[in-house]
Amino acid sequence: MGVIFMLSACSPAAPNLSGASLFESVEAPTPHSADAEPPIRVALVMKTLTNPFFIEMERGARRAERELGIQLVVKTAAQETSIQEQVQIIDALILEKVDAIVIAPGDSVELIPPLKRAQDAGIIIINIDNRLDADLSKKSGLKDVPYVGVDNEKGGYLSAMELVRRLTGPNEAAILEGIPTSQNSVDRVAGAQRAFAENPQIELVLIQSAHWKIDEGYEVTREILAQFPNIKALFCANDMMALGAVQYLQDAGMQGVLVAGYDNLSEVQDALKQGALVATIDQQAAEQGYLGVQYAVRALKNETLPAETLVDVQLVTASSLP
């Protein structure tokens, strides 16, 4: 039985899953009396709300908002590749004089200059999900920015290793990476490469970007298999690309190509159960959002924070599902 995917959120005409305007998730402001101190305003800046991963991240951030009694402002770009929109959002937040920005940057390099401007304006910066480039941050003067995320290299390794375990004899493999300048994509690809290298009978023939998107995952998979028809393993650096790859394989009637993903979106559960997807990685998006907001408030209270906080990655396969 094939798996039918109804999610096509990465196309330009995708529905706005937040029910809000394109760039902001609406939540009623925290009420306060005229005599009370205005609430702390923390902005959560994410890549998009068209990927369910970031909807989970916002849920975790909203939990922190309720517990801490702050006002959370959620801003997103249209797509994960809309880097300049994130830049514009940060510049707007500087003018709005928010107290802190918790950011899952779409790019590890291009967001550093606007974040430096925000920090110079006295805004606390917390980096979650995708790590900012450490060397460029240092050169640019962006300093003391705590990071909350996961060990993406480890996650990529665990996911791809499930492909390796299922292969026997000589085989070809390929990797679908995200945005090439995103550190989380770089690290997941490195982990997958390490897993494939542990089996000398597996030849990694190609690494190609599908920019985190379902539709590009579909098209890139088609192109890769046209060029390398003997590929038997495909690691995708996120579930959106994996969904596109799986859909192409089903549409083309191709069997025998194993696919692994990353993110543990609810949309991949049926694919896991039916064997269309071998594995994925749960990186606890809600926990990252929760800790990011919590750290922002702690920083505003002048508490000392760890430079790095890693949330556990968890391998998810059909056998681990309830």
Q: Measure the CA–CA gap between 9 and 299, rounded to whole angstroms.
A: 35
Residue-wise pLDDT for 139-175, tens only, equals 999 999 999 999 999 999 999 999 999 999 999 999 9
Match 């951030």 to its residue by tokens: 61
Q: Measure the CA–CA gap between 100 and 93, rounded to whole angstroms.
A: 9
Distances, alpha carbon 12 to alpha carbons 6, 51, 77, 213, in Å: 16, 13, 12, 11
- Residue 94: left if φ>0, alpha if ψ -120 to 50, beta else—which one? alpha
Average pLDDT over residues 293-300: 98
Residue 13 pLDDT greater than 60, yes or no = no
Residue-wise pLDDT for 40-74, tens only, equals 999 999 988 888 899 999 999 999 999 999 999 99
Q: Compute CA 87 distance to the chain's CA centroid, rounded to the nearest angstrom.
A: 18
3-class DSSP string for the chain: CCCCCCCCCCCCCCCCCCCCECCEECCCCCCCCCCCCCCCEEEEEECCCCCHHHHHHHHHHHHHHHHHCCEEEEEECCCCCCHHHHHHHHHHHHHHCCCEEEECCCCCCCCHHHHHHHHHCCCEEEEECCCCCHHHHHHHCCCCCCEEECCHHHHHHHHHHHHHHHCCCCEEEEEEECCCCCHHHHHHHHHHHHHHHCCCCEEEEEEEECCCCHHHHHHHHHHHHHHCCCEEEEEECCHHHHHHHHHHHHHCCCCCCEEECCCCCHHHHHHHHCCCCCEEEECCHHHHHHHHHHHHHHHHCCCCCCCEEECCCEEECHHHCC
Residue 196 pLDDT greater than 80, yes or no = yes
Q: What mean pLDDT, rounded, does the chain reach?
A: 90
Task: Please give the biggest Cα pair distance in the chain.
Answer: 73
So what's the pLDDT on residue 61?
98
Question: First and final CA of the chain: distance in angstroms?
Answer: 20
- Residue 292: left if φ>0, alpha if ψ -120 to 50, beta else—which one? alpha
Beta-carbon contacts of residue 2 (< 8 Å; ≥ 6 apart): 250, 276
Beta-carbon contacts of residue 84 (< 8 Å; ≥ 6 apart): 110
Q: Compute CA 234 distance to the chain's CA centroid, rounded to the nearest angstrom.
A: 19
More confident of the two residues 36 and 80? 80
So what's the pLDDT on residue 3?
45
Task: Report pTM.
Answer: 0.83
- Which is nearest to 95 in space by CA: 53, 123, 54, 124? 123
Match 């596109």 to its residue by tokens: 244
- Which is nearest to 152 in space by CA: 175, 194, 195, 186? 186
